[in-house]
Amino acid sequence: MKNFNKVIKKIDSYEKEIIYFTQNLVKINSVNGNETKVCELIKKKLLEHDIKSRLIGNDRKRLNIIAKVEGIKHSRSLMFNGHMDTVAFGDLTKWKYKPLSGKLVDGKIYGRGSDDMKSGIVVAVFAAIALKESNTSLGGDLILAFSADEEGGNHTGVRYLIDKGVKSTACIVAESMSKKAIRIGSRGIYRFEITTKGKTAHTGRTDKIGINAVTKMAKILLTLENMKPRYTKHKMFPPPKITAGTIINGGIAINIVPDSCKALVDCRLSYGQTKESISSDVRKELNKLKQKDKELSFSIRELAFVPPVILNKNHKLIKVSSKNIRKVLGFKPILKISGPVTDGNVLMEAGIPNIVFGAIGDKAHSENEYVIVKSILDASKIFALTAIDFLSG
């Protein structure tokens, strides 16, 4: 109870600073590919509270940042993770406030990345600051690890951190909280580019000598959309979903039969699917189509794979975070699977068990994205209290 009260009071005392820091993070344009300025602002904020950090990475525009609040022992650790990149702004005419405004209105901060997930970074940062400045004795190390390139789908930032030996006993990924839920796993992704080849001809010819690569692609995309890949049924996972033709490009002129077409395909993977299984299922289905259409010619270039993951629901991190969510927010969270992929998938694959929750907002990846200020403070309290409990014993 003593630690609880100290941490709660400390975080409440940071309210204005938390608002200002969140706004300043949102004001930085970190659309996927430009994360370093976010790193620099985080580093500055941590240093103001006497927490040292390091910026690391292969690309100076796309650095990652790590920091540590040391505990009594080093055999146990907890990581707070978040990504610094955002998606693009979308249609600027649909924004009530400019996407880089960080506008505070009626207890909400608006702007691109406010919900997904700069507020999550703020939650993690101020939970760590509160623990340090309240002189709370931690039974193990608390690690902050914020990465580049989550939104791009390849998760190169968190993969870089793992390759450099950044690890922990467990992790909380500070993505926003969804419907009073802790997400204990996630679907996976398999993305690829498919190319069809045809033969050019003048569209005005009366004989058929051209082969239309675009209509061949249409056949492929409809086949992919309707196929049913193999997976293992699990009560927490929805079935796999294939969205075919998210981007399509083909043809060079209105009066020329197109001889080439490219399309992107996004597969959301369910429980039990592997890179090998989904790749095999896709190729098998398209080879059936090729047997029916001898003129069909295609090639596949794989773009990204992240496996579906799930954490054992009896894991200590789930138990202590659920207890502290109930303590701070007054309800027992439900356990869910995340539809979108997070850095948590990659961390789980690397042997770092994790859960996903954070502040509360809305409109991620859409116009008028926002986060609720009170939820940032509440989540900071939950993170700090969970760190105390998880690292004890």
pLDDT value, residue 213:
97
Q: Which residues, 6+ apart, have CB-to-CB distance to 70 below 8 Å?
A: 138, 141
Which stretches of the chain drop beneath a pLDDT of 70? 1-2, 393
Q: How far, rounded to the nearest angstrom, does the alpha carbon of residue 369 sit from its chain's CA centroid?
A: 16
For residue 74, give the amino acid letter: H
Question: What are the structure tokens assigned to 246, written together?
Answer: 């998210």
Output the CA torsion sign for 368, 41, 373, 148: positive
> How much is the pTM?
0.93
Q: Three-state DSSP class for 225?
A: helix
Strand locations in 198-340, DSSP E? Answer: 241-250, 260-269, 298-306, 309-310, 334-338
- Cα distance between residue 64 and residue 83, in whole Å: 9
Q: Which long-range contacts (CB under 8 A, 24 or more apart) does 323-326 make?
A: 323/389, 324/381, 324/382, 324/385, 324/386, 324/389, 325/182, 325/357, 325/382
- The CATH code of domain 2-186+308-391 reads 3.40.630.10
Q: How many residues does the chain have?
A: 393
pLDDT value, residue 178:
79
Q: Three-state DSSP class for 184?
A: strand
Under CATH, to which class is 188-306 assigned? alpha beta
Distances (CA, A) of 349 to 162, 309, 311: 11, 8, 11
Question: What are the structure tokens assigned to 356, written together?
Answer: 């996903």
pLDDT value, residue 393:
66
Q: Phi, psi (5° rounding) for residue 240?
A: -65, 155
Which sequence spans correspond to the domains of the chain?
Answer: 2-186+308-391, 188-306
